[in-house]
Structure formats: C-alpha cells, structure tokens
A and B are shown apart, each in its own frame.
Chain A
Amino acid sequence: AQSVAQPEDQVNVAEGNPLTVKCTYSVSGNPYLFWYVQYPNRGLQFLLKYITGDNLVKGSYGFEAEFNKSQTSFHLKKPSALVSDSALYFCAVRGVTFSGGYNKLIFGAGTRLAVHP
C-alpha cells in the first residue's frame, strides 16, 4: 500500500536559519510526491511536486525538496526560514489508480513548522 511518513510532529527553527521537514514514502512503482502547506483556517496550498527528472525540485515561496530514491525520502528544505513560513506542512503521494481515479492523494500526518524571530 502507498503511504508517507512524517517523523516529526513539530520542527522549530530560528528565522534566517535553514530548515528541513522530513518525509519518507512507501510506494509500488514510480513515486509521485507532493508537498502542501496549510495556514490556520485555510485549505491546503501546493508547494511543489516530484514526478520525474531532477532530484532537486524547486517550488513556491523559496522552498525546494530533495528526492532520494535509495532512502525513499522527499525532504522539504529552505535555505533561510521566515517567520511567515510558520504553518502545517503535509507530504503526500499519489495513490495507485485502478479505474482512472487520478489525483487521489495520500497524506502524511503533517509537521508543524515554527519559525522564531
């Protein structure tokens, strides 16, 4: 079965420091991986995706993610954190489709990022 794991409930980082939010995945076949961010009282916003190609994927708001097939990981990174980056981050994998059910996503439990001034 397809699944993702986010091992950290919360990540704390000082403003200006680099940040990493971890994600590992388990899939059969090629992984299609996504990162979404959720601000309070808001829906999820797309950050970036990995489908194929370069292992380093660049996304919105200065975020990037590194795909590592051997470690089955897809960690989210940013070189310099901002206080406004504080939010809930979700890693997701596209589910296996049996009858044309595209774009079903399987989400991790989420990691709360707290950036301190």
Chain B
Amino acid sequence: DAGVTQSPTHLIKTRGQQVTLRCSPKSGHDTVSWYQQALGQGPQFIFQYYEEEERQRGNFPDRFSGHQYPNYSSELNVNALLLGDSALYLCASSFTGTVNEKLFFGSGTQLSVL
C-alpha cells in the first residue's frame, strides 16, 4: 500500500516563474492538504481540498492555487514566484470521515527560487 507520494522531489525555478507540484494521497484517503515549511520553521497550512473543491485556506496569497482530481490526487500551483517561496512543500492526506485522525505526509517537494 503506497503512502502519500509527491513529485518532483526537488525543483529549481527563477523569480516570476510558475510551478506545479503534484500529490497522490494514501489509498482510501479523500482529503488532501498542502503545507509550506520554510527553513527552520514548522509547516504552515496553505489549503485543503475535498470533493475537488477548496474547503479551507490558510493565510496565503492568491498566487497559491490548487486543484483536486476525481481520483483524489492534487496539484499545488504557485504563480509569479518570489524568493520567499523557497521552502519544502508538504502534502498530507486523510479520510474526511475521521475528524481527529492523524494526517499522513509525503516526503515533500523542495522548491528553490533563484
């Protein structure tokens, strides 16, 4: 049983470019959340997708957008990249029927913006 998978593992972009990160949730999970982890900090919630809709959003600008597909996989898109967007982007999946259950995290995508 595969866990949460993310691609790519590493990415280098330049300021102003756009990037798309991908996530496949753990089998049986229907909810995908995205987190940004800057160096030396804890993960910060970006948004959460369920039933192909954004259900909750953290304090991130509209440059950050996402999508969820019918197979529950998800994408995180970031437009007009800034140097400050350099971080580890983590995807976490869960089953919405279990409110306080643990999240399963992928290994992340390390994004470097030059």
Identify the A interface with B (CB < 8 A).
Answer: 32, 34, 36, 41-46, 49, 51, 90, 92, 94-95, 97-110
Asked if residues A43 and B106 are in contact (CB atoms below 8 Å), the reply is yes
Most chain-B CB neighbours within 10 Å: which of A51, A90, A92, A105? A105
Residues of A within 8 A of B105 (CB): 36, 43-45
Proximity bits, B100-111, A CB within 8 Å = 1, else 0: 111111111000
Asked if residues A101 and B103 are in contact (CB atoms below 8 Å), the reply is no
Which of B41, B58, B100, B108 meets A51, CB within 8 Å? B100
B73 CB-CB contact with A under 8 Å: no
Considering the complex, give the chain A residue whose CB is closest to the CB of B91: A43
B4 CB-CB contact with A under 8 Å: yes
Considering the complex, give the chain A residue whose CB is closest to the CB of B101: A103
Residues of B within 8 A of A32 (CB): 100
Which of A43, A94, A95, A100 meets B4, CB within 8 Å? A43
Interface of B is mostly: loop
Chain B interface size, as a band, is 20 to 34
Residues of B within 8 A of A34 (CB): 102
Considering the complex, give the chain B residue whose CB is closest to the CB of A109: B42
Q: Given A44-B43, A45-B105, A103-B99, 9 more contacts at CB 8 Å? A: A43-B106, A92-B42, A100-B55, A101-B55, A103-B33, A103-B100, A104-B33, A104-B45, A105-B45
Contacts known (A43-B4, A46-B102); A101 close to B56, Cβ less than 8 A: yes
Asked if residues A108 and B42 are in contact (CB atoms below 8 Å), the reply is yes
Contact residues, B89-105 vs A (CB, 8 A)? 90, 92, 94, 96, 99-105
Chain B nearest Cβ from A32, distance in angstroms: 5
B86 CB-CB contact with A under 8 Å: no
B24 CB-CB contact with A under 8 Å: no
A34–B101 alpha-carbon span in the complex (Å): 10
Asked if residues A90 and B43 are in contact (CB atoms below 8 Å), the reply is yes
A64–B92 alpha-carbon span in the complex (Å): 23
Asked if residues B100 and A94 are in contact (CB atoms below 8 Å), the reply is yes
Which of A95, A98, A99, A110 meets B45, CB within 8 Å? A95
Considering the complex, give the chain A residue whose CB is closest to the CB of B108: A43
Residues of B within 8 A of A46 (CB): 102-104
